[in-house]
C-alpha cells in the first residue's frame, strides 16, 4: 500500500467502450475496470477517444496539469478485479510534451518531484524520459532535449504489470508484439496491437 498522505493516481478516464477492453482481457463491470487500486472508467467515444483524464488523491492545488485534465478526488480505495490477461497493476502512464522543462515545472508546482531522468536517442533525435511517482503508478513524461513548440502535454499510453508475461503472450497470440527486454533491468515487455482489438489507447504488458 502507498502512503495515504502522498499524491496518488486513483482513476483514469478513457474514451473507449467496454467491449474492446474485454476483448483485451480486462474484466469490466458497469463501465469500470479496476486494475490494482486504480479505477479505469470507460466512457465511450462521445467526447473523443484516447486516455482523456486522470484522478488523483492528495494532490496539491487544482486545475489541469500542464494541459492534462486533472481532478483531485477523495475516492475510497479500489478493490482490484481479476483479469484474464493477468494484469495486476497499472505500471506506468506515459505522457508526452513538446516542452519538457515547462512540464516538469508544472508537476513540481503541484509537489510532484522528479524521481529519475533518462537520456536516450534510441528512436532518433535525443529525448528525455522523466519519471514521477503517482502512488503505485509511475508517470513517465517524454519530451525532446530542446523544446519544439508550446502545445500542452498530452496523455499517450499505459503499461500494465502482469503476473506471467508468457501466459499473457499465449492468450493474445499475434495480437501481442514480440516480448523483449524492458528499459528497467530484469524486466520484459510486450506491446499490444491495440487498434486490432478496437482500443484507442496504446497498451503494453510488463513482468513484475
User: Who wins on pLDDT, 75 or 37?
Assistant: 37
Look at residue 72 and tell me if it is in a domain: yes
Radius of gyration of the chain (CA): 16
DSSP 141: E
Look at residue 71 and tell me if it is in a domain: yes
How far apart are alpha carbons 94 and 131 in whole angstroms?
10
pLDDT higher than 50, residue 58: yes
Q: Is 134 exposed, middle or buried (0-12, 13-18, 19+ CB in 10 A)?
A: buried
Domain count, the chain: 1
Q: What does the pLDDT look like over 176-199, one tens digit per residue? A: 999 999 988 899 999 999 999 999
Residue 179 C-alpha from the chain's centroid: 19
pLDDT of residue 76: 80
What is the residue range of 154's domain? 8-206
Look at residue 124 and tell me if it is in a domain: yes
Q: What is the mean pLDDT of residues 18-38?
A: 97
pLDDT of residue 5: 82
Look at residue 36 and tell me if it is in a domain: yes
pLDDT of residue 121: 78
DSSP 99: -
pLDDT of residue 2: 52
Look at residue 1 and tell me if it is in a domain: no
Look at residue 2 and tell me if it is in a domain: no
Look at residue 178 and tell me if it is in a domain: yes
pLDDT of residue 160: 98
Q: What does the pLDDT look like over 78-128, one tens digit per residue? A: 899 999 999 999 999 999 999 999 999 999 999 999 999 999 877 677 889
pLDDT of residue 133: 97
Cα dist from 201 to 23, 66, 159, 166, whole Å: 14, 20, 10, 22
Work out the pLDDT band at 1, boundaries 50, 70, 90: very low
Q: How many CB atoms lie within 10 A of CB 10?
A: 26
The CATH number of residue 167's host domain is: 3.10.180.10
Q: Is 95 exposed, middle or buried (0-12, 13-18, 19+ CB in 10 A)?
A: buried
Look at residue 191 and tell me if it is in a domain: yes
Amino acid at each position: 500500500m502507498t502512503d495515504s498522505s502522498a499524491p496518488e493516481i486513483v482513476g483514469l478516464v478513457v474514451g473507449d467502450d467496454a467491449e474492446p477492453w474485454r476483448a483485451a482481457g480486462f474484466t469490466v463491470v458497469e463501465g469500470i475496470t479496476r486494475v490494482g487500486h486504480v479505477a479505469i472508467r470507460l466512457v465511450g467515444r462521445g467526447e473523443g477517444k484516447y486516455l482523456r483524464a486522470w484522478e488523483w488523491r492528495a494532490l496539491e492545488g487544482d486545475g489541469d496539469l500542464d494541459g492534462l485534465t486533472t481532478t483531485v478526488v477523495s475516492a475510497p480505495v479500489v478493490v482490484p478485479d481479476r483479469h484474464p490477461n493477468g494484469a495486476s497493476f497499472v505500471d506506468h502512464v506515459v505522457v508526452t510534451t513538446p516542452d519538457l522543462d515547462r512540464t516538469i515545472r508544472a508537476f513540481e508546482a503541484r509537489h510532484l518531484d522528479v524521481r529519475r531522468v533518462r537520456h536516450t536517442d534510441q528512436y532518433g533525435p535525443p529525448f528525455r524520459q522523466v519519471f514521477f511517482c503517482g502512488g503505485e503508478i509511475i508517470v513517465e513524461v517524454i519530451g525532446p532535449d530542446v523544446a519544439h513548440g508550446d502545445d500542452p502535454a498530452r496523455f499517450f499510453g499505459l503499461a500494465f504489470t502482469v503476473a506471467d508475461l508468457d501466459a499473457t503472450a499465449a492468450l493474445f497470440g499475434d495480437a501481442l508484439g514480440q516480448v523483449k527486454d524492458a528499459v528497467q533491468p530484469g524486466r520484459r515487455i510486450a506491446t499490444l496491437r491495440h487498434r486490432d482489438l478496437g482500443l484507442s489507447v496504446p497498451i503494453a504488458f510488463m513482468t513484475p
